[in-house]
């Protein structure tokens, strides 16, 4: 079942040690593009979770998790990081359409599982 998890410094190991793909959105409540684009991210997460049962989706509030924000060198918002087996394999900066997000995630999955 699909669940978008709020990650922070206490539970980030859940995606960092995950043995497959994790797509994590870094955001802030004061960031207008983050707030406006969040429904697109949720829709992408719902669609991708239906297609791939080995993918996690989550979000990190940069104001509440400054250590994670620094650890992953997140400077612009929104930033979406795609992890594969705990390693950042793709950074997506800024706002993307649903089609763009889906295409980027599918490409990363293809690249990582077919090399």
List active site positions.
Answer: 31, 34
Are the CB atoms for 85 and 73 separated by under 8 Å?
no
CA 9, CA 97: separation in Å to the nearest integer?
29
Are the C-beta atoms of residues 90 and 24 closer than 8 Å to each other? no
Q: Are strands 79-84 and 21-27 parallel, antiparallel or unpaired?
A: antiparallel
CB 113 within 8 A of CB 84: no
């Amino acid at each position: 079942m699909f669940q978008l998890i709020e990650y922070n410094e206490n539970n980030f190991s859940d995606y960092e040690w995950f043995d497959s793909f994790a797509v994590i959105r870094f955001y802030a409540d004061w960031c207008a593009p983050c707030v406006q684009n969040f429904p697109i991210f949720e829709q992408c997460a719902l669609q991708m979770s239906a297609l791939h049962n080995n993918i996690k989706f989550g979000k990190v509030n940069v104001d509440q998790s400054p250590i994670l924000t620094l650890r992953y060198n997140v400077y612009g918002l929104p930033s979406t990081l795609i992890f594969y087996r705990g390693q950042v394999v793709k950074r997506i900066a800024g706002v993307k359409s649903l089609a763009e997000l889906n295409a980027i995630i599918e490409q990363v999955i293809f690249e990582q599982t077919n090399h």
